[in-house]
Amino acid sequence: MTLELTIPGSIKSKKNSKRIFARGKFKKVLPSKAYENWEGEARRSMWGKAIIPPLECPVHVEAHFYYKGPRPDLSGCMESIADCLEGIIWANDGLIESWDGSRLHHELENPRTVVTVKW
C-alpha cells in the first residue's frame, strides 16, 4: 500500500540546533523552539490522516523537502520527519527501512514536505 502526505511549511532540522534546559543540577538537551513549533504544526496538519493503529511493519519512505531559506541538512530533515510522524503513521521510526529517492528542493513560493510511505 502507498500513502502520500504533504506537510506545509519549510522543514526544520532537529539535529542542527539544540538548546540546554537546566533546573538546578538537572540538565537536558532539547530541540530548538523553531523545530518544536514546526513539529507541532506538522503534527496538526496530519489530523485525520493518521493510521490507527500506526504501522508496525517495515516501511519505505521517500521525502521531497521543498525548503525556503538556507539549505538544510538532508539527514537532519529525514530525522525530523521520522520523529514527527512517529505514532501517527508508524509506531516507531526504527521501522523505516529506506529513504530511497529523498531530495532537497529550494522553493521560495510554496515550502512544504511531500512524504510517500510504502508498506
SS3 labels along the chain: CEEEEEEECCCCCCCCCEEEEEECCEEEEEECHHHHHHHHHHHHHCCCCCCCCCECCCEEEEEEEEECCCCCCHHHHHHHHHHHCECCCECCHHHEEECCCCEEEECCCCCEEEEEEEC
pLDDT for the residue 31:
84
Confidence of residue 29 (pLDDT cuts 50, 70, 90): confident
The residue ranking higher by pLDDT, 42 or 47, is: 42
- Which CATH class for the 2-118 domain? alpha beta
Structural domain spans, the chain: 2-118
